[in-house]
Structure 1
Amino acid sequence: MPKVLIISDSHGLTDEVQAIKERHADEVDIMIHCGDSELAYDAEPMHGYYKVQGNCDMDNRYPEEVSIDVGNVSIFATHGHLHNVKSTLMPLSYRADELGASIICFGHSHTAAAEKVKDKLFINPGSIRLPRGRDEKTYATLYWEEPSEATIEFYSDQGIIIPDMTVDVDLTAEE
């Protein structure tokens, strides 16, 4: 069962990013940081993450986006500021089409959410520094049984699952 850790908008936090990485290191296949870490690309807490540049990241070594194949799915990760995510998910959807991705991970809005729209799963892990819409500082994991059943779990920055945010989706059905 493939499993992915997704974090975003940590805005300068180092110990927390490191702790989350260490907490889940033995249970995930990949880790994604969706930008605005405000850390150097090669900073120790960022080692092991697929990472992208957010609007607050000044290190130009970060790519604007990454595309990752995990198991039977393709994941597209970006921060979201270049795709107008605070207004619409359409530009993200179009870019995912170009990349052949069915799962899109992004940040920027600091709002934790997971939503299946037609054949795509959009995941924003929220922020472990400055959350919006909820009190909890959040990050997420995604795991799935091939070929179709996926679960997104949101955690507080302390590693506690937030049960009312858990989302189960069928990756093969259009919704």
Structure 2
Amino acid sequence: MRFVETEIPGVVVVEPEPRSDERGAFARLHCPEEFAAAGHPFTPAQTSLSRNPAAGTLRGLHYQPTPHAETKLVRAVRGRIFDVAVDLRPDSPTHRRWTATELSAENARALLIPEGVAHGFLTLEPDTDVLYQISPAYRAGHEAGVRWDDPAFAIRWPSAPALISPRDAGYPDYRD
């Protein structure tokens, strides 16, 4: 695996290094030892799947605040997404900045999103499935979010969402 640092500390694009032959390809997608050796220790406690039938579906921007903060490793296992991470850590040098990358079944990349960083995505094609590996396990009732189009972040989404939940559309403006 290759670990490609983004401009936001702790947000990392994880690229597999597939081995190919006449049968196809095989790639390691997660190994706790490799993540730790790269300076990003991560051992998932839970794996979840988000199914998204429609292109233009927006989910996010979500996070779990302390003491239930989560680290996530996110990848598209079918279809394509525009995946976004927003730094909400008040003491971070990149506080309120965002980064994005395209994740697809084809490129097999993942985005590692540390605690204190909100996450959201926009599906770029129909029938897109997104796999989450999460640590610690999700704690219901402790969800939080910020609005996808909050001017405090000025995220340049590739298009406006065609489908968004009332909860995600109704998050208030971000306050430090």
Higher RCO (CA < 8 A, seq sep 6+): 2
TM-score by length of 2: 0.28
Per residue, is there more helix in 1 or in 2?
A: 1
Tell me which structure has the larger Cα radius of gyration.
2
Per residue, is there more strand in 1 or in 2?
A: 2
TM-score by length of 1: 0.28
